[in-house]
Each structure stands twice: as structure tokens, then as C-alpha cells.
Amino acid sequence: MRISSIANTPEPPYYAVIFTSFRTEGDHGYGEMAKKMLELASQQPGFLGVESAREDLGITVSYWADLESIRAWKANIEHREAQELGRKKWYAAFKTRICKVERDYGI
């Protein structure tokens, strides 16, 4: 998944889901599923944007309006299937963190 811009988020507060991972060797359908999950997430109520970077360590930050939107995305059946494949095939290790954004600034 390649994103070429910084997410245009609203005035805080809002929430960030930080997904940090190390991949296993090979693609095994990961690239196609990542594109599908980005498209699906962007259609979910409360989705605000996403930023992603990957070298050896991958970090994807998705932004959400509220905790209920995050819970609904986690429970989405297609997303749950992708999560299971991630555990079985795509990730050697991962960590998910959920944060409330209280302040943001930039140029």
C-alpha cells in the first residue's frame, strides 16, 4: 500500500489507529488485499484518512472520528478475514495502538 500524501484530518479531537508490523517473506496476496482494505476502510463511516510507510518496519496510521467507528471497522467481516490472513501468512510480528489525538499542527 502506497499513500503519497499526508491525511487531511479535521480539528481534534479524533482518533488514530497505529498499526506497526514486520512482514513475512513474499507477497502471498498481501498487496492486493492491502489495496482492497484501503478502499473498504475509506467507505466506512467515521474514516478520516490514512498514512503508511514501509521499509523493514511498516507503519500505517488510520484516522477515525470516534471509537465506535474504529470498533465497527475492526468488526467488519472482510476486514476480519484480512486480519486472520495477516496472523497466518503476512506478519512476523505486529502491534496495534489506538490513540486520541488532542492536538495537531503542521505546514
Query: Which of the residues in the chain have pLDDT under 70?
Result: 1-4
Is 49 in contact with 7 (CB distance < 8 Å)?
Answer: yes
Q: What is the pLDDT of residues 54-78, one digit of tens each?
A: 889 999 999 999 999 999 999 999 9
Question: What is the predicted pLDDT for the residue at 1?
Answer: 47
- Domain ranges for the chain, please list them: 14-101
Question: What is the predicted pLDDT for the residue at 4?
Answer: 63
Question: What is the predicted pLDDT for the residue at 5?
Answer: 84
DSSP states along the chain: ----S-----SSPEEEEEEEEEEPSS-TTHHHHHHHHHHHHHTSTTEEEEEEEESSEEEEEEEESSHHHHHHHHH-HHHHHHHHHIIIIIEEEEEEEEEEE------
CATH placement of domain 14-101: 3.30.70.100
Instruction: Please confirm whether the linkage preceding 13 is cis (ω < 30° from 0).
Output: yes
